[in-house]
Structure 1
Amino acid sequence: MSAYEIDDDPARIDRDAAWAFLSQHAYWGRWRTREVFDRQLDRAWRLVGVYERESGRMVGFARATSDGEALAYLGDVYVEPEHRGAGLGRALVTKMLEEGPGADFRWMLHTSDMHPLYAKLGFRAPDHTYMERPASPNLGPRLVP
Structure 2
Amino acid sequence: MSDYEIDDNPGRVDMDVVWTYLSTDAYWGTWRTREQITTQVAVSWRVVGAYHRATGAQVGFARALSDGIAIAYLADVFVLESARGQGLGKALVRTMIDDGPGARFRWMLHTRDAHTLYQSFGFAAPDETYMDRPSKF
Match of 2:108 in 1: 108
Match of 1:143 in 2: none
Inter-partner Cα distance in structure 2 for 1:82 and 1:39: 27
Alignment of 1:1-145 (within 5 A): 1-135=1-135, 137=136, 140=137
Q: Which has the higher contact order (CA 8 A, sep 6+)?
A: 1
Inter-partner Cα distance in structure 2 for 1:93 and 1:17: 18
Inter-partner Cα distance in structure 2 for 1:30 and 1:61: 16
Question: Any gaps of 5 or more consecutive residues in structure 1?
Answer: 141-145
Give deviations 1:53-96, integer Å, cap 9, x for gaps. Answer: 00000000001000010000000000001111111100110000
Inter-partner Cα distance in structure 1 for 2:85 and 2:40: 28
Identity of aligned residues (%): 59
Inter-partner Cα distance in structure 1 for 2:88 and 2:37: 23
Aligned residues: 137
**CA shift for structure 1 position 42:** 1.3
**TM-score, normalised on structure 2?**
0.98
Which structure 1 residue ranges, 4+ long, deviate > 2 Å from structure 2?
none
> Pairwise CA RMSD of aligned residues?
0.7
Counterpart AA for 2:106: R
Give deviations 1:108-137, integer Å, cap 9, x for gaps. Answer: 0000011111011110001000001122x2
Inter-partner Cα distance in structure 2 for 1:8 and 1:60: 12
**TM-score, normalised on structure 1?**
0.92
Question: Any gaps of 5 or more consecutive residues in structure 2?
Answer: none
**CA shift for structure 1 position 29:** 1.8
